[in-house]
Amino acid sequence: MSGQQGFPPGQGGPNPWAQQAAPWGPQGQGFSPGAPGAAPFRTPAVPDGEITMEEVELPWPVNTVPNACACCNGPAQSQLLTQSTAQIGRTTQTRSLQVPYCARCAEHVRAGGRRGSGLGFLGFFVALPVPLALMLLWDYAPWFVVIPAATLGALGALAMLEALWKAKPVAREQGCHACEQPAFWMQSFAFNGPTVKFRAVNPRWMEQLARTYNARPARIGPQKPGRARWVAAPLCATLAAIPLWFAMHGHVYFDNPSNDTLVFDVDDGCETVTVLPGAHADMWLPSGNTRVAVRRGAQTVETIRGEVGHWSTHAVTPLGITCYGVQQRAYGTAHITGRGFEPAPEGLRWHTLEHIGLVFEPFPRSVSVGRGQTGSIRRRFGRVNCGYGSAY
């Protein structure tokens, strides 16, 4: 879009402001597109078009702003807040400024904000079923496929939603410089810094502001305006896909109490794991019924069935040549009430473990506790001496 090109009336649907007489329009005291001496600039004719910005650094606090609409230079009838935050360590500092707009421009800037956050939320919610569907259709979809699927799902959903939900273009002949984004905003400042950087898309308004402070605006662009939703929605969808993945999987431990190497074959080769004599292994398996064939060499010695829960922990204990159970150990001032040992039912091959911190791993020598705590109890599932209930 060239800067001198007019905006054809009627394009992009009915214009709610078309009937309104604009006293600050081209004939009025306001901006005129081709006025001699007016700085050449590019105006967004469409919401996602490129924009040219002006940046200026002003001493803080800024007490005087031009008494005109920051978007169209019309009468100041309304105010919109612009703010920015600076941070040092955990301390944040916020600075804000009220920016004058005419009623019409305040409304199109607000509408742009609503569309932006609306698209962001919709993009996020439309994207979430993508990893879910993938896990339901493909049980053994690995996390490195499921989680990026959420990111791509959000990007795809945003592209689709943006095409469906288009913003009304703002008529340039009415003097608007901004479309969806604010016409003037606080860009950044240094923590406790004496100045603040501002950006504007209306060179005339910016010129007036800068003159008050004897500052010189610098030109930036033309460039595509940054859209927070294109970062926020994919990021949130990606982060949400992580607990979703865990919710659709269980952590399964495989024990080998024998003197031979065992191979655990899960769901006919969907996963296989080789466990050395006396050792154990673990993996995340998809929720649902599962069948584990235990092989010694070429021979299948046992088939164990179980149900993998959601974000659950399980142990597979083949052969039945030893006993298993849950032991507790107290650290610091903590005391174990009741029995410190719960044997697992004899002969059970598939265990669902709840509130167990250690599976087959030995108790640690010491544990660290949270602030204000003086002791802690750890629970462990593992092999135990069949007669006494102590560790194997």
Q: List contacts with Zn ion (CB under 5 A).
A: 69, 71-72, 74, 102, 105, 176
- Closer of 113 and 340 to Zn ion (Cβ): 113
Q: Where are the alpha helices (DSSP H) in the chain?
A: 103-127, 129-137, 143-164, 203-212, 229-247
Q: How far apart are CB 228 and Zn ion at their closest, in Å?
A: 20
Q: How far apart are CB 207 and Zn ion at their closest, in Å?
A: 17
- Closer of 109 and 232 to Zn ion (Cβ): 109
- Closer of 173 and 342 to Zn ion (Cβ): 173
Angle, CA 373 vertex, CA 369 and CA 378 arms, to 5°:
50
Residue 27 has which token pair? 């004939």
Q: How far apart are CB 171 and Zn ion at their closest, in Å?
A: 9
DSSP 8-state class, residue 346: T
CA-to-CA separations, 335 to 275, 331, 370, 379, in angstroms, rounded: 36, 8, 17, 13
Q: How far apart are CB 46 and Zn ion at their closest, in Å?
A: 14
- Closer of 131 and 182 to Zn ion (Cβ): 182
Angle, CA 328 vertex, CA 327 and CA 330 arms, to 5°:
155
Which 3 state secondary structure label does DSSP give 318?
coil
- Closer of 47 and 74 to Zn ion (Cβ): 74
Q: How far apart are CB 166 and Zn ion at their closest, in Å?
A: 17
Which 3 state secondary structure label does DSSP give 230?
helix
Q: Where are the alpha helices (DSSP H) in 165-249?
A: 203-212, 229-247
Q: How far apart are CB 146 and Zn ion at their closest, in Å?
A: 44
Q: What is the largest CA-CA distance in the chain?
A: 100
- Closer of 111 and 330 to Zn ion (Cβ): 111
Q: How far apart are CB 176 and Zn ion at their closest, in Å?
A: 3
- Closer of 100 and 382 to Zn ion (Cβ): 100
Distance (Å, whole) CA 295 – CA 327: 29
Distance (Å, whole) CA 359 – CA 368: 19
Q: How far apart are CB 66 and Zn ion at their closest, in Å?
A: 12
- Closer of 103 and 159 to Zn ion (Cβ): 103
- Closer of 179 and 240 to Zn ion (Cβ): 179
Q: How far apart are CB 74 and Zn ion at their closest, in Å?
A: 4
388 closest CA partner among 343, 334, 345:
343
Distance (Å, whole) CA 220 – CA 226: 13
Distance (Å, whole) CA 305 – CA 392: 25
**Residue 279: partners with Cβ closer than 8 Å, 6 or more residues away:** 256
Per the CB < 8 A criterion, the answer to whether 168 and 180 are in contact is: no
